Structure 1
């Protein structure tokens, strides 16, 4: 038996931009349904916001995001979660790192470098407040 997990990012008005950014980093397809598309807009100004969105890449990367409507409480929070990306290839992981950290609004928390437990390990917070942990898996 196996299961898949997908990180679901809850934002307020930034879901489309976040999903487009993640697609630019990891590649793949973006699917987005707005509140208007689903006939579920509670306020006209939120009609074009994302009710359900996902990026899926051929390499297996998946992330979902939506815009929390203003009728529900939401706070950006302080590191309420990390998204972990682990790969076997240092060049691939380094490429993701470069694209995630290239934006002027990104903040490097821990530089991507060899660590005591992984050939490469690093943490970066993207322009949307999501902290990513990237590392290269230890070969056995």
Structure 2
């Protein structure tokens, strides 16, 4: 038996746009189920919002997303989590960074750091903070 961790992102009406964006960055397949699809429409303006969605990439990338209905409290928050994307190839991480950085606010540019060959942090246009780095052996 194995357990995996998948980042689950909560939005208010932007889940589909976020999933489409992440699909354009990481590739893979998108699955999206709306409130209308499951017969749980409480507000007609939210019928096409995502009740459950995900992007799954052949490269191991996986993220889930959900639109919190207006009947429930939701606050985008301030740094409630980071999504970490770690690889072992500087070209691959650099290419992902370039795509993800479009429309984002760079917190820390992608560059060599004392602990990794490449490390960077940005907050995308959906308010999600991403950390991208190239893994380095730990020499504790």
Q: TM-score range by the shorter chain?
A: over 0.9
Deviation at 1:76, TM superposition (A): 0.9
SS class of match (1:114):
strand
Q: Summarize the alignment of residues 1-40 of structure 1 with structure 2, pairs less than 5 Å apart.
A: 2-40=2-40
Q: Choose the corresponding residue for 2:116, options 100, 115, 118.
A: 118
Q: Which runs of 4+ in 1 moved over 6 A?
A: none
> What TM-score, normalized by structure 1, do the two folds share?
0.96
Q: Summarize the alignment of residues 74-89 of structure 1 with structure 2, pairs less than 5 Å apart.
A: 74-89=74-89
Q: What's the C-alpha RMSD, in Å, of the aligned pairs? A: 1.0
Q: Residues of 2 paired with 1:49 and 1:6: CA distance? A: 21
Unaligned runs of 5+ in 1: none
Deviation string for 1:109-135 (max 9, x for gaps)? 000000000000000100100000000
Unaligned runs of 5+ in 2: none
Q: Residues of 2 paired with 1:2 and 1:135: CA distance? A: 25
> What TM-score, normalized by structure 2, do the two folds share?
0.96
Give the number of equivalent residue pairs. Answer: 138
